[in-house]
Chain A
Amino acid sequence: MDLLFLADFSVIRPEPGLLIWTLIIFVLFWWLMSKFAFRPIQEGLKKREHDIQNSLDAAKMAREELANLQAHNEELLKQAQEERAMILREAKEAKETIIQEAKDRAKEEAKKIVLSAKQEIEHQKLEALTNIKNEIGQMAINIAEKVVHQKLQDSKESTNLVDQLVKEINFNN
């Protein structure tokens, strides 16, 4: 204790002046700082926290929407692919039927052509045969004419034959 008295340890003595000034200054500090610093900072921080939360929520929602959209797109793509495959298949089928039809038609046509060619050939053959027959008939007639011509010159028989023939003609008529 003696040391304290001798050295005058004044900081431990509560002095009215310092007490009052500290009270005034601290209360003023508290009031002014609350109004101009601490409340605005707290509001700012809360607003930012709120904004961050909102942004995160929005990002999450956007991500979900994007995922949905992607799923939808994939669905569409799948459908399109299926459609394409179907169209291709149909086209192939159509091609095959067309080719088949064409082939059939061609066959028929060919058949017809062959048929008509055959008929033509038959026709030609008949014509040729007829011509030949006619030729041969003519030649036979000519030969016969010549034979008859010679026979008529010397016998009465011939006259008889002619007569007979004439008669026959009449009968035939």
Chain B
Amino acid sequence: MLHVKNLHASVEDKAILNGINLEVNAGEVHAIMGPNGSGKSTLSAVIAGKEEYEVTDGEIFLNGENIEELSAEERAHEGVFLSFQYPVEIPGVSVTNFVKTAINETRKAKGEDEMPASDMLKKIREKAELLEIDRKFLSRSLNEGFSGGEKKRNEIFQMAMLEPKLAILDETDSGLDIDALRIVANGVNKLRSKDNAVIVITHYQRLLDYIVPDFVHVLHNGKIVKSGTKELALELEEKGYDWIKQEATV
């Protein structure tokens, strides 16, 4: 599904990613952990196609296709989804209208007709229920005045609506209380299938109790310095990141 090869990226001439190698197959969940400033959010933004980041070396393949030349929207049309750490407020555009626009623009790009209104409504209802989202919430302006938890739940609602092949969850657990965390994680788990893959970016082990990863990678100074299974996350929780940093220096 996703194959990242020796990826180097910089922003404003400052190198942030220094040779990332990562392979994610359909049906897998990967967790990427690491201390602040290790490059986790940069990696997700580069995969999703943020223009401010310059890929200086290496390649990203999605289903065998090099996506370097694709814009953020084209990557979305190919099935990449990024759940934002800080979702943006769009006053005057309701959650429903936003999601409809996103779905129909994607269909348009693929040469398909717009989704019939009744199908759209049915899908919205179904996914809102999955994430325990109130109907009133859907007519509010996108992210405007939302609590941290509401914003994150709304991100996963969009993911549920767009049904991506590759979902990257960038610190989706930050700002969530335990109930919201459970709802969000439950939503993600229900959306998992053998055809899609999820990358979970997080500081803490907590989220991984709910979304159990197949692989855990530790990022430090823009490189993956250690990979393992879910036990690695537990070890990090117990021992912190310092031993990884030391190991990396050695």
Do A and B form a real pair? no
